[in-house]
Structure 1
């Protein structure tokens, strides 16, 4: 609470509001550097950035930054051939094939994706799994391959037992890995074959079983947003505006980013944006304003793209409602 209040007081002394902009790197300056190196096909520079980051949640964002660069799937194969015993090129190849698979599928709903698109999607995910299992075998202590296998598993619909085992394998190596918990929560959403009850139970247990000050409180907010998204207009507002929902958001924030042990770092920007959106949807504009102040106008695509596809426009509209 003190940290967010301090951020808000500082920003309150500024003239006007911070300009809202999408922060593609989610507050991690090395993401831009590794993305540029990947676009330039500079494997030495990519390797240096990845090697300097611990093999855990800290490396996850950098891997996705590389994986989202078009063309990596071509030149990384040459690196694998040149370094046949090295696990890192295989990890990059696996992550790139995941992004490449979703490029083929697109973000359209399943009914608007052709049979040919689904075929390419599944082929690329299957190739990703081959790379990732090779990495997991060579580096049994690494977290990233198991986290990435959670993503491929959802796309390939591997089933609840396999999905659960992949999540468990990830958190055995990094118990508070936010990305792993986010993937597991998505797996438990009704839209992926789960239920609201399973989703909320998982979010609550994960958030409050963790020590105070971790980022896992975000899961409670995401679960309420997912529940809100599932409902029809009118019912959605009644759901998320319930006093017990607002109270649960406050408890999660208090145990997470408001907690005295919270230390801002990589990943926290998305969490602040998520609480800002959840409190805004719930109609608690005082709490929403607190989190909008803390984001300093830096917008993360998730979860704002859930509203109308334009994260900055959605953020600005909701920020205005909160009196910022």
Structure 2
């Protein structure tokens, strides 16, 4: 019987897997961490050693209070400066008191500190840079997101975390980056617990504005839990967090994803994260739908948490999801158009 089941599964996979590729871009069209139309020219210019476009881009986000875009751009520009430092050195020399350059400088210093074996010691030396970035524009929540990441790396107690969190939400109550930084601090991997992490995420999602990425926080809490290796596959999830709570987190993120157009780069990271959660929950059909909505926009997170080749991991997982969906379909399933003549 086991052999017969395996043969039927193989037959279903062979029959249905190829057509389940409909709606998925070919592998060679999938991009990893593709910049948006505003950031791309700044990165190209930085590659030539020029900082003007990056400076203008961040100044525009500051002047128009585009805090979510500002946060994303700062992280990408700091990452670029880490591997290609010349253009940023020119910027700092030309405008040492530029609030936008100070913000990138603080982010870059925190990233470098996190990667060092002497992390806590080096990060403590970064505190003045974060304070200088915060003084650059008192309205800006992004320095406080950096401060929350900094607090996690320096073993800051909960009292310090609460003070930083208060400053962050006073500037932008629904800022996604600050919420993610707080969620990481409160996770079981750092200074909280799975329950504390989920409670924070669910409260924030409930209070979030329509369409806000903050509604995906419970899915991030689920990711933190699922990557903590509870053991035992889906049956083992309920040991600490009930399966119903994980499914509810995924369902909320699915509802959020549905508010955005397919192949929209803005929610790409959330959709990539959601795919991971759905796969771990063995919700294959839902995962395939999210892969179609994601389109060509693969993101390093969450795949870099499980592989040194995030793009390769994303593409391999797409194939695996199609196989799982195909293997569950009836062997003789036919397209509706074939059965009805297109009616």
TM (norm. structure 1) is: 0.79
Q: 1:123, CA displacement in angstroms?
A: 5.3
Q: After the TM superposition, which of the residue ranges 248-257 and 159-168 deviates more from structure 2?
A: 248-257
Asked if 1:24 corresponds to 2:33, the answer is yes
Other structure's SS at 1:231 match: coil
Query: CA separation in 2, counterparts of 1:253 and 1:22?
Result: 22
Gap change, CA 1:80 and 1:126, over 3 Å in 2: farther
Q: 1:57, CA displacement in angstroms?
A: 1.2
Gap change, CA 1:16 and 1:245, over 3 Å in 2: same
Match of 1:87 among 90, 95, 99: 99
1:111-166 C-alpha deviation (Å, 9 max, x unpaired): xxxxxx30xx4454334321221232242111221111111111112221212222
Match of 2:189 in 1: 191
Listed as ranges, the matches of 1:198-213 within 5 Å are: 198-213=196-211
- Partners of 2:204 and 2:214 within 8 A in 1: yes
Q: 1:43, CA displacement in angstroms?
A: 2.6
Q: 1:293, CA displacement in angstroms?
A: 0.4
CA RMSD of aligned residues (A): 3.0
Asked if 1:65 corresponds to 2:76, the answer is yes
Match of 1:112 in 2: none
Query: CA separation in 1, counterparts of 2:282 and 2:227?
Result: 16
Other structure's SS at 1:238 match: helix
1:56-85 C-alpha deviation (Å, 9 max, x unpaired): 111111111221123676765664454354
Match of 1:318 in 2: 317
Asked if 1:270 corresponds to 2:269, the answer is yes
1:29-50 C-alpha deviation (Å, 9 max, x unpaired): 3333333333443232221122
Gap change, CA 1:183 and 1:142, over 3 Å in 2: same
Asked if 1:248 corresponds to 2:257, the answer is no
Larger CA Rg, structure 1 vs 2? 2
Q: Which runs of 4+ in 1 moved over 6 A?
A: 71-75
- Partners of 1:22 and 1:311 within 8 A in 2: no
Gap change, CA 1:213 and 1:79, over 3 Å in 2: closer
Query: CA separation in 2, counterparts of 1:323 and 1:295?
Result: 15
Other structure's SS at 1:42 match: coil
Query: CA separation in 1, counterparts of 2:96 and 2:272?
Result: 41
Query: CA separation in 2, counterparts of 1:177 and 1:156?
Result: 23
1:149-201 C-alpha deviation (Å, 9 max, x unpaired): 11111111222121222223222222222111111111011110210110010
Listed as ranges, the matches of 1:123-162 within 5 Å are: 124-162=122-160
Match of 2:53 in 1: 45
Q: 1:97, CA displacement in angstroms?
A: 1.1
Match of 1:34 in 2: 42
Query: CA separation in 2, counterparts of 1:64 and 1:122?
Result: 20
Query: CA separation in 2, counterparts of 1:253 and 1:79?
Result: 39
Match of 1:281 in 2: 280
Q: 1:230, CA displacement in angstroms?
A: 1.5
Query: CA separation in 2, counterparts of 1:29 and 1:62?
Result: 12
Q: 1:272, CA displacement in angstroms?
A: 0.8
Gap change, CA 1:38 and 1:162, over 3 Å in 2: farther
Match of 2:232 in 1: 234
Gap change, CA 1:284 and 1:242, over 3 Å in 2: farther
Q: After the TM superposition, which of the residue ranges 36-45 and 276-285 deviates more from structure 2?
A: 36-45
Asked if 1:224 corresponds to 2:212, the answer is no
Query: CA separation in 1, counterparts of 2:105 and 2:252?
Result: 36
